[in-house]
A and B are shown apart, each in its own frame.
Chain A
Amino acid sequence: MSKRVGMEVTTACAEAAALCRIDVASVYPITPQSHIAEHLSEIVNDGRLDASFMTVESEHSALSAAMGASATGARVFTATASQGLLFMSEILPITSAMRFPVVMIIANRAISGPINIWNDHSDIMHTRDTGWISFFADNGQEVVDMTIQAFKVGENRNVMLPVNVNVDGFQLTHTVEPILFPDQEEVDRFLPEYVPYATLHPDRPVSMGTLGVPEIYAEAQKAKDVAIVNSIKVVKEVWKEWEKLFGRKYEPIQSYRTKDADVALVTMGSMGETAEIAVDALRKQGVKAGLLKIKLWRPFPFAELKKAVKGIRVLAVTDRACSFGGPGGPVFSEIRSALYEESVRPAIVNYLIGLGGRDVQVEDFMEMVRKAAKGKLSEPYEFYGVRG
């Protein structure tokens, strides 16, 4: 039976990792993730979880140690944010290339400079192409659910890839809210013991992390790409199973009031529900607004997106990160590219919002929809609300 508990989302995140019976946590604290590291180390110290909590000297080491632990067949958890994630970036593509199903919480925070500790998605976007499966959570409940789901997806023998769960820094991490926790038995049934594909063990010798000469490197990359592309099947199966067990529905693209929508917002992460309120308010005023929330960023759900935008005239895509000198924000360019070959496709505009913790209110989303209705902005991408 699930239990309804009030908890700070970071604490809940650590509790979720404990419910997954992780063997090793290798975490280096950084704002706004630190409470995860703190609470998890308490859980281990209190003897509530039989795991090794590795104190490392940096994020680079945190993920390196996580990989080493995973190579021995352990279920491994880590968490970071911002500069910490960037410091890990050398190891990120190796984790996926070596097919270690490490699960990482990213407490999304802007990257420097200027130095900023607040929320946006510039950290995850910086490491977008490293071959990790990426989930985005709307609220604390989704953070807990996705943490548990992430292990199940990553450890699937047809996937064998690391998964990151993106949790908006402060807006989510530092909020106390009600969360339904599945009990240990339910989690154990959903997530059985990890059976690794191969482990470092003298009884069955294996070389991991081998050299890839030009004659093999391309084939290795292709194999990794096919693995992550195909993982969407497993993600959807796992989310179906979760819905059956716990009644909470997860889809790669979640549509909100888009059935007859004229203009639809696109969001990722915790601003999604604020945008829902804006959609409701616009509907009350007679504006046919809708919303698409991307929950699965990698592998990108191309087919699901194409289906979701049917009938929509204008998409107002919001981005929480810049692509300097590029075509617009990363979500925008992804969506535009995804729809390029469609004979009927919506007009697409791009807003860069909520950068470095800038608050975005219901009225802002309403204004974005109103401005987007023309199908075009005065610039290819607009820094929404920027002064000057």
Chain B
Amino acid sequence: MTEKKWPETWQEVNPGCMVFRPGSAAAYHTGSWRAMRPIWDNVKCIKCGVCYIYCPEGCVTEDADGFFEVNLDYCKGCGICAHECWPSAIKMVNEEE
């Protein structure tokens, strides 16, 4: 059974509109807002992790080799990682590219 997006009737509204399903916000893929996405050039990357620290969505993760990648389900394409990356290893490209 798929979960309802919201209660169908007022009787189904939890007192105080409380939501008892933890992590329900994760079901919302904010990645759909993205117009540009970050691309990492691992030749330039020095594994400093500044992209990981600055990502406001927390969707940059470290891979097994110590390089960084992005979870595109949640990346809004804000470009903060690319702006902060001082070796210029991150480039923002159009979503269509």
Direct A–B contact in complex, judged by CB atoms less than 8 Å apart = yes
Q: Check B9 against A210 for contact (C-beta < 8 Å).
A: no
Task: For the A-B complex with A198-B18, A207-B18, A223-B11 known, give 11 more contacts whose Cβ atoms are closer than 8 Å.
Answer: A97-B17, A99-B16, A205-B23, A206-B18, A206-B19, A210-B17, A218-B10, A219-B9, A219-B10, A219-B13, A226-B10
Whether, in the assembled complex, A54 has its beta carbon less than 8 Å from a beta carbon of chain B, the answer is: no
Q: Check B10 against A207 for contact (C-beta < 8 Å).
A: no
Q: Check B10 against A210 for contact (C-beta < 8 Å).
A: no
- Say yes or no: A216-B6 contact (C-beta < 8 A), given A206-B18, A210-B17: yes
Q: Check B19 against A210 for contact (C-beta < 8 Å).
A: yes
Q: Residue of B at shortest CB range from A218?
A: B10
Interface residues in chain B, defined as those with a beta carbon under 8 Å from any beta carbon in chain A: 5-7, 9-13, 15-20, 22-24
Q: Check B16 against A208 for contact (C-beta < 8 Å).
A: yes
Q: How many A-B residue pairs have CB under 8 A?
A: 58
Q: Check A220 against B17 for contact (C-beta < 8 Å).
A: yes
Q: Which of B5, B10, B12 has the most chain A CB atoms closer than 10 A to its own CB?
A: B10
- Say yes or no: A212-B15 contact (C-beta < 8 A), given A205-B22, A219-B7: no
Whether, in the assembled complex, A160 has its beta carbon less than 8 Å from a beta carbon of chain B, the answer is: yes
Contact with B along A212-254 (1 / 0, CB 8 A): 1101101110110011000000000000000000000000000
Return the 6 tightest CB-CB contacts between A and B, nearest first: A205-B22, A99-B16, A222-B10, A219-B10, A207-B19, A98-B16
Which residues of chain B come closer than 8 Å to A98, judged between CB atoms?
A: 16-18
- Say yes or no: A212-B18 contact (C-beta < 8 A), given A219-B10, A222-B10: no
| Minimum C-beta distance from B46 to chain A (A) | 37
| Minimum C-beta distance from A31 to chain B (A) | 33
Which residues of chain A come closer than 8 Å to B5, judged between CB atoms?
A: 215
Q: Check B10 against A99 for contact (C-beta < 8 Å).
A: no
Q: Check B16 against A207 for contact (C-beta < 8 Å).
A: no
Interface residues in chain A, defined as those with a beta carbon under 8 Å from any beta carbon in chain B: 97-100, 160, 197-198, 204-208, 210, 212-213, 215-216, 218-220, 222-223, 226-227
8 residue pairs bridging A and B, Cβ less than 8 Å apart: A98-B16, A160-B15, A205-B22, A205-B23, A207-B18, A208-B18, A213-B6, A223-B11
Q: Residue of A at shortest CB range from B19?
A: A207
Q: Check A212 against B20 for contact (C-beta < 8 Å).
A: no
Q: Residue of B at shortest CB range from A204?
A: B20
Which residues of chain A come closer than 8 Å to B15, judged between CB atoms?
A: 99, 160, 197-198, 223, 227
Q: Residue of B at shortest CB range from A219?
A: B10
Q: Check B18 against A223 for contact (C-beta < 8 Å).
A: no
CA distance A220 to B19 in the complex (A): 13
| Minimum C-beta distance from B13 to chain A (A) | 4
CA distance A223 to B11 in the complex (A): 7
Which residues of chain B come closer than 8 Å to A215, judged between CB atoms?
A: 5-6
| Minimum C-beta distance from B87 to chain A (A) | 39
| Minimum C-beta distance from A63 to chain B (A) | 16
Q: Check B18 against A210 for contact (C-beta < 8 Å).
A: yes
Q: Residue of B at shortest CB range from A215?
A: B6
| Minimum C-beta distance from B16 to chain A (A) | 4
- Say yes or no: A216-B17 contact (C-beta < 8 A), given A222-B10, A223-B10, A226-B10: yes
| Minimum C-beta distance from B30 to chain A (A) | 14
CA distance A212 to B11 in the complex (A): 15
| Minimum C-beta distance from B43 to chain A (A) | 43
Which residues of chain B come closer than 8 Å to A204, judged between CB atoms?
A: 20
Q: Which of B9, B18, B22, B24 has the most chain A CB atoms closer than 10 A to its own CB?
A: B18
| Minimum C-beta distance from B80 to chain A (A) | 24
CA distance A222 to B10 in the complex (A): 6
| Minimum C-beta distance from A231 to chain B (A) | 13
Q: Check B20 against A198 for contact (C-beta < 8 Å).
A: yes
Q: Check A223 against B19 for contact (C-beta < 8 Å).
A: no
| Minimum C-beta distance from B65 to chain A (A) | 34
Which residues of chain B come closer than 8 Å to A97, judged between CB atoms?
A: 16-17
Q: Residue of B at shortest CB range from A71?
A: B16
Which residues of chain B come closer than 8 Å to A226, judged between CB atoms?
A: 10
